[in-house]
Amino acid sequence: LHIVTQIAQALKSAHQASIIHRDLKPENIFLISKRGDPDFVKVLDFGLASVYGSDPDQAKLTQAGFVVGTPGYVAPELLAGGDYDERADIYALGVVLWECITGDRLWTAESPMHTLLRQLKMVAWLLSLHLQKRFRKPWAHIDLALSMG
Beta strands in 10-144 (DSSP E): 19-20, 29-34, 37-43, 50-51
CA angle 117, 81, 46 (to 5 degrees): 90
Q: How far apart are CA 48 and CA 62, in angstroms?
A: 9
Neighbours of 14 (CB within 10 A): 19
Q: First and final CA of the chain: distance in angstroms?
A: 6
User: Active-site residue among 23, 55, 57, 83?
Assistant: 23
Q: How far apart are CA 31 and CA 42, in angstroms?
A: 6
| Segment holding 11, helix H or strand E | helix 2-16
Residue 19: strand pairing partners: 51
Q: Fill in the amino acid letter for 95.
A: V
Is there a catalytic annotation at residue 23? yes
Q: Supply the residues annotated as catalytic.
A: 23
